[in-house]
Structure 1
Amino acid sequence: MQLSLTQASTWKGLLLLVSCIILWIYVTPTPHDQMSNEELYDNLLYWSHRTLRVARKVYKILDSNLTERICFKNKKNNTCQTTSTHTIKNNEDLLKFIFNISNAWIYPLKILVPAVLTHLDSYDGMLGRAVEINYGNKQVLEGAKILLSRIQQPGIEENYYPNWIDLKELRSSRERTHLRAFCKLFYCLRKDTKKIVCYLRALRNGTTKNKCQE
């Protein structure tokens, strides 16, 4: 039986609601500012690992099943908006990198959820994964902000805003265009989240050597 537009929209809304409820099951009730530094590092590592795992899964699904290997074919040509050179000298620099990158992803991940709802939500739990990635990034951002505030003067400058020129392509009605945009977004998200995980491990191990650059 074919659903009407109204029924389909209602079903999508319910799916989004259920996805959000499932996420809350895993959320610790302790506010970030009440956690010890060790607890914050554990929390950030948990969410960054989880976000990386989900981003990898979505990228693999896209490349293997939906895009006729568009992701793989365009991989060498992908230039991520967050790509830059970072000089790491101390723990504050590590935390600033984590904070700035997570903050830079707030807007694209906000756009991602409705884009997935429009183009990909009926395929293999994509909508739930998009919601989870968005939530995980916010957890990392908030935790990094608290840690950074404990080792530097108050007042973090949130001034790292890349020019996300490709986001409009996520809304394109042309399948090849929006699928290519999804590929690039998840390719860059995987790279950035992998670096965040690497820098968090460096913080836990007490090393500031910049071994996380490609």
Structure 2
Amino acid sequence: MNIKGSPWKGSLLLLLVSNLLLCQSVAPLPICPGGAARCQVTLRDLFDRAVVLSHYIHNLSSEMFSEFDKRYTHGRGFITKAINSCHTSSLATPEDKEQAQQINVHPETKENEIYPVWSGLSSLQMADEESRLSAYYNLLHCLRRDSHKIDNYLKLLKCRIIHNNNC
């Protein structure tokens, strides 16, 4: 496949860079020492792992967003379109740490609740480069935003559950 001069060249480059970032310095760590079949992992250890991984994912998503912004947007004003356009924006989330601390740790499950679905794939495949770049910008902006929220909420949950809010 000849991609030289192709409108997909930037998309393929971004995909390659994102895969490289995600695979960079990743080495799986065994949960159980020596591969034991019936080991038990403490809740503290599970939270520690989850917090480390979520922080790593947030750092990678921030790095991908910054790199994309630096290389492709060149003052095109994509941020004004991306501010409230994340498909997860409709999910009720606390605005700050104080609000987050008021959340019940064991919320009731709600049957038949409708969750937002990402419908941006077609935008990523558009022939128009400006539309495609805007879609990638929005995708990376939302990934960075959501990974930051997850990172913060996991740290807050760990503080609440493991340290009895004494952090």
Normalised by the length of structure 1, the TM-score is: 0.50
Structure 2 counterparts to residues 92-107 of structure 1, below 5 A? 92-93=106-107
Q: Which residue of 2 aligns with 1:74?
A: 81
In structure 2, distance between residues paired with 1:49 and 1:27: 16
**Alignment deviations for residues 78-98 of structure 1 (CA, whole Å, 9 cap, x no partner):** 3211122147632224xx9xx
Shift of 1:170: 0.9
Q: 2:133 aligned with 1:179, yes or no?
A: yes
Aligned pair partner of 1:56 in 39, 62, 85: 62
Secondary structure of the 2:156 match is helix
Q: Which has the larger radius of gyration?
A: 2
Which is helix-richer, 1 or 2? Answer: 1
CA contact (8 A) 1:169 1:181 kept: yes
Secondary structure of the 2:106 match is helix
Q: Which residue of 2 aligns with 1:27?
A: 28
Q: Which moved more, 1:181-190 or 1:160-169?
A: 160-169
Shift of 1:23: 5.5
CA contact (8 A) 1:67 1:179 kept: yes
Letter in 1 for 2:104: N
Structure 2 counterparts to residues 114-129 of structure 1, below 5 A? none
Q: Which residue of 2 aligns with 1:119?
A: none
In structure 2, distance between residues paired with 1:20 and 1:72: 23
Secondary structure of the 1:206 match is helix
In structure 2, distance between residues paired with 1:180 and 1:197: 25
Shift of 1:74: 2.9
Aligned pair partner of 2:116 in 149, 153, 162: 162
Shift of 1:181: 0.6
In structure 1, distance between residues paired with 2:114 and 2:46: 23
Shift of 1:167: 2.1
Identity %: 24
Q: RMSD of aligned C-alpha atoms? A: 3.7
Structure 1 alignment gaps of length 5 or more: 7-11, 97-154, 208-214
Secondary structure of the 1:46 match is helix
Q: Which moved more, 1:20-29 or 1:160-169?
A: 20-29
Letter in 2 for 1:165: S
